[in-house]
Amino acid sequence: MQNGFYSAAGGMVAQFSRLDNIANNLANLNTNGYKRQDLVVGDFLRLYQEKRDELPLENHTKEAAKFTHRTVARVPQVIDSYRDMSVGAFQQTSNSFDVALKEENLFFAVLTPDGVKLTKDGAFSLNDLGELVTKQGHRVLPADYEQTGDFIEFNVEAKNVELDKDGKFSYLLPGNNRFVVGKDLLLVEPQNMNRLKPSGDNLFTPDLADRLEPVVNSGAVSQGFLEKSNVNAIRSMVGMIEAQRLVEMYQKAMDTQMNEMNRDTIEKLASTKA
């Protein structure tokens, strides 16, 4: 395979990955608490230079690693991905059970069939048992869940439910002019944000070594608001157009390599006298 064709094909594959990533971000433009994912495009040569002394070659010498083909090694490729965890815009809903967090490192903890997961989506409601749950029906955990195993429940007659800036619920009962103190939301700050793994339904799986200690006095809770996606529609569309144009450019380079250059070579070889 000609080196120019290989480089163009590699570049096109990288841009296809970018297009898939941008399309996924745009599809979640209206998903509450969604965090934009992005890709890092680099080349093999830089990665190779960082690790070449660790290659299983005799004596691990730099001289022994000079076999790298410089042209092929510069093929652009996706080398990493990351999530932008910045806080998205807030939308006021005036719903007592809609909650948003002002800090990008804070998460709600919920109990799923696969264990405890984290989420930024605070569109909560009550199930038939009066328990606070997510849209998928996962129960939202209180700060004392590890000690008591209880969930956040409300009396069927509860009204004027209030939530303070630190995540503590309180509400009124008929015939009682004093607020009844309820549970605290379990707000956690993962120790290593880079190890959060997306697990579907806008949930994240924390690292097994993370103890998920409750964050107290956070001052980051906003009742009656929802955090929207932090995807920038305009920037994403610009990125999509850029990736599409690069795909077209690489395709043209491949056509030139295979058609024009090969045809010219064949014509010259055919006209050469033996």
Entry pTM: 0.76
Tens-digit pLDDT string for the chain (274 aa): 456 677 788 888 889 999 999 999 999 999 999 999 998 877 666 655 665 555 555 555 555 555 444 445 567 778 778 889 999 999 999 899 999 999 999 999 999 999 999 999 999 999 999 999 999 999 999 999 999 999 999 887 788 899 999 999 998 887 777 888 899 999 999 988 888 898 888 999 998 888 888 999 999 999 999 999 999 999 999 999 999 999 998 888 888 777 776 776 777 776 655 4
Euclidean distance between CA atoms 249 and 226, whole angstroms:
42
* Burial (Cβ within 10 Å: 0-12, 13-18, ≥19) of residue 25: buried
